[in-house]
């Protein structure tokens, strides 16, 4: 009697709960029953393994079959269909040939014996597995296209729920006969998402710092263990939080397909806030010196904007401990914050400035100057100035828009005139030949498209120029109450505020020059944005 071992495989974990394995088993058992000299010996089962994506050398069950075959433990390997062995046209025929060389017959319930002795057998096997690989590719493409179509419509297409959401039943059945599920915001978890974005936006924290803070606060991580920077990065760049579903589209560059419109049911972070956080992260990567990113570590408030006025070098942290002994003999110490000029500290004669400045010596002076600047922005006469300035800008923009519209109408009239002359040019009754007329028409149409694009940009600028009453209220609140807000803020947030307001401070022995980032109009534009994301 020939000893027969059966091999079953399903490609996904979902199929484990269906009828695929029982079907393969029943078909194989029935096939064995019709062979008088065959005897069932054992079965091998591959659970949730793709015969296309995984190489044969990475599939433990197939390697186990080869080891058993080399020990002569069985005589026949039986599968339901040949594609159960694999769908790779280059590898699977070689695997079958290897088993044949070990004295093992390979059979398929649906295709009969799979032989590799003759040249024609090898050709047929290649064609058989080439077709299987092709079908696998087509299936993958169909599944991917169906998922991407759902993504474009803003539908969640499966996987684990991101932080801030739960998967809840929809009450409908999916294609696999199971209850379909959708994302729903979990308000308790969403608070943590908002706090993470708040740390990135208002505190200037990077992923490593946010992970460290959450671990120090003993906030439970997504999985067992501690928060990792990679998890924070994934949260900060996931567009699902602004309502957009995304999925990789299979391109070689790792590109993604996004939903065409945000799904209001998924929004945890407003889109403008999400976009600002991406700008901050991009600045970190490119190391650009903009308002972001700034270093929010340490206790020196002006670390990122303070420069030596003589050599132009940015000050570094020269803080150190001061030690003393009390009358009672108790030894004490405290950190003494210092800004240090690296050029002077190195002993260079090229710098005429001081080597260090104590924190308590220079920071009160700088804060006092900034206070006067903010107070000047809060003057009562500034409010009507803002209105007048904004109205002048809007009138100028409106005039430019009207002129642009006239230019577009002129181009449209020219195009219509040229189109009317085409029949005459075809008959040779027009002064210009048809080729020249077509060239002029194409040139006018291209110009029209460009001018329409320019009009769109002008209209967007006009819309953004409108400073409504809510924006003015934000301006008044910030300028009037800024001292209280600044003093109550933690050090990292103070450093972020300073980074938004000041571009550079040059320190001389008896003078300080401050270069503010914003003039009055720019400042109004900045404070019109809502920087608060936590609720």
| DSSP-derived secondary structure for 249-271 | ---TT--EEE-SS--GGG-SS-H
Distance between CA atoms of residues 343 and 340, nearest Å: 9
Q: Which letter, b or e, does each residue of 314-324 get, where b requires 16 or more Cβ atoms within 10 Å of its Cβ?
A: ebbebbeeeee
**Are residues 146 and 120 in contact, defined by beta-carbon separation less than 8 angstroms?**
no
Number of Cβ within a 10 Å radius of residue 145: 12
For residue 256, the model assigns a pLDDT of: 61
Which is it for strands 316-317 and 512-516: parallel, antiparallel or unpaired? unpaired
What is the DSSP secondary structure assignment for residue 13, as one 8-state letter?
A: G
Distance between CA atoms of residues 336 and 358, nearest Å: 7
E strands, 402-509, are 502-507
For every residue of 283-334, DSSP letters joined together read HHHHT--SSS-----SS-TTTTTEEETTT-PBPEE--EEEEEE-TTS-EEEE
Instruction: Provide the β-strand partners of residue 306.
Output: 505
With H, G, I as helix, E, B as strand and everything else as coil, classify residue 179: strand
For residue 259, the model assigns a pLDDT of: 63
Which CATH architecture fits 165-286? Answer: Alpha-Beta Complex (3.90)
Q: Residue 198 is encoded by which pair of tokens?
A: 């708040």
pTM here is 0.43
**Are residues 267 and 243 in contact, defined by beta-carbon separation less than 8 angstroms?**
yes
Which CATH architecture fits 2-149? Answer: 3-Layer(aba) Sandwich (3.40)
Q: Residue 436 is encoded by which pair of tokens?
A: 């020249």
Low-confidence ranges of the chain (pLDDT < 50): 14-17, 119-123, 125-126, 128-129, 132-134, 136-142, 252, 288-293, 467-470, 472, 520-521, 524-535
For residue 306, the model assigns a pLDDT of: 92
**Are residues 151 and 258 in contact, defined by beta-carbon separation less than 8 angstroms?**
yes
Residues 6+ apart with CB under 8 A from 232: 196, 207, 210, 211, 214
* Alpha-helix runs per DSSP H in 154-206: 187-202
With H, G, I as helix, E, B as strand and everything else as coil, classify residue 49: coil
Least Cα distance to 44 among 30, 64, 70 occurs for 64
With H, G, I as helix, E, B as strand and everything else as coil, classify residue 404: helix
With H, G, I as helix, E, B as strand and everything else as coil, classify residue 408: helix
For residue 111, the model assigns a pLDDT of: 78
**Are residues 430 and 424 in contact, defined by beta-carbon separation less than 8 angstroms?**
yes
Q: Tell how many helices (H) and how many strands (E) occur in the chain.
A: 15, 17
Least Cα distance to 353 among 366, 343, 363, 364 occurs for 343
Distance between CA atoms of residues 365 and 470, nearest Å: 33
Q: How far is CA 55 from CA 46, 64, 127, in A?
A: 14, 14, 19
Number of Cβ within a 10 Å radius of residue 15: 15
Q: Is the peptide bond before 293 cis (omega within 30 degrees of 0)?
A: yes
CA atoms within 13 A on the CB side of 124: 12
For residue 380, the model assigns a pLDDT of: 53
Distance between CA atoms of residues 289 and 293, nearest Å: 7
Number of Cβ within a 10 Å radius of residue 471: 17
Distance between CA atoms of residues 160 and 186, nearest Å: 14
**Are residues 88 and 52 in contact, defined by beta-carbon separation less than 8 angstroms?**
yes
Least Cα distance to 200 among 212, 209, 189 occurs for 209
With H, G, I as helix, E, B as strand and everything else as coil, classify residue 27: helix
For residue 40, the model assigns a pLDDT of: 94
């Amino acid at each position: 009697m020939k000893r027969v071992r059966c091999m079953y495989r399903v490609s996904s974990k979902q199929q484990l709960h269906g009828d695929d394995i029982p079907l393969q088993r029943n078909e194989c058992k029935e096939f064995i029953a019709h062979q008088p000299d065959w005897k069932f010996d054992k079965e091998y089962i591959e659970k949730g393994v793709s015969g296309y994506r995984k190489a044969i050398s990475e599939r433990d069950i197939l390697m186990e079959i080869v080891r058993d075959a080399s020990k002569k433990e069985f005589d026949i390997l039986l599968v339901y269909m040949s594609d159960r062995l694999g769908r790779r046209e280059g590898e699977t025929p070689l695997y079958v040939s290897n088993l044949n060389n070990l004295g093992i017959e390979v059979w398929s319930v649906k295709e009969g014996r799979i032989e590799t002795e003759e040249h024609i057998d090898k050709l047929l096997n290649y064609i058989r597995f080439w077709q299987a690989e092709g079908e696998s590719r087509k299936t993958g493409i169909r599944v991917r296209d169906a998922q991407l179509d759902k993504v474009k419509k803003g539908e969640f297409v499966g996987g684990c729920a991101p932080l801030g959401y739960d998967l809840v039943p929809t009450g409908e059945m999916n294609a696999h006969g199971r209850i379909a599920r959708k994302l729903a915001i979990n308000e308790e978890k969403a608070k943590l998402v908002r706090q993470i974005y708040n740390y990135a936006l208002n505190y200037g924290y990077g992923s490593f710092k946010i992970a460290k803070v959450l671990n120090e606060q003993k906030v439970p991580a997504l999985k067992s263990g501690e928060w990792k920077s990679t998890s924070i990065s994934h949260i900060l760049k996931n567009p699902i939080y602004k309502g957009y579903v995304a999925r990789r589209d299979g391109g070689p560059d790792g590109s993604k397909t996004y939903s065409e419109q945000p799904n209001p049911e998924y929004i945890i972070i407003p889109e403008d806030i999400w976009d600002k956080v991406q700008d901050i992260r991009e600045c970190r990567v490119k190391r650009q010196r903009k308002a972001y990113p700034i270093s929010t570590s340490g206790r020196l408030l002006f670390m990122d904007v303070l420069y030596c006025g003589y050599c132009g070098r940015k000050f570094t942290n020269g803080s150190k401990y001061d030690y003393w002994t009390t009358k009672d003999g108790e030894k004490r110490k405290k950190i003494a914050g210092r800004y240090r000029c690296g050029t002077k500290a190195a002993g260079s004669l090229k710098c005429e400035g001081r080597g260090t400045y104590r924190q308590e010596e220079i920071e009160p002076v700088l804060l006092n100057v900034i206070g006067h600047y903010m107070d000047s922005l809060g003057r009562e006469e500034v409010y009507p100035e803002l209105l007048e300035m904004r109205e002048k800008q809007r009138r100028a923009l409106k005039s430019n828009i009207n002129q642009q519209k006239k230019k577009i109408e002129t181009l449209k009239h020219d195009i219509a005139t040229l189109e009317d002359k085409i029949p005459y040019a075809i008959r040779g009754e027009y002064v210009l030949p048809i080729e020249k007329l077509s060239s002029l028409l194409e040139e006018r149409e291209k110009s029209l498209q460009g001018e329409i694009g320019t009009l769109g940009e002008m209209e967007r600028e006009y819309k953004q120029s409108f400073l409504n009453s809510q924006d003015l209220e934000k301006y008044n609140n910030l300028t009037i109450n800024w001292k209280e807000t600044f003093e109550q803020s933690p050090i990292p947030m103070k450093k972020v505020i300073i980074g938004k307001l000041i571009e550079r401070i040059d320190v001389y022995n008896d003078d300080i020059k401050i270069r503010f980032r914003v003039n009055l109009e720019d400042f109004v534009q900045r404070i019109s944005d809502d920087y608060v994301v936590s609720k």
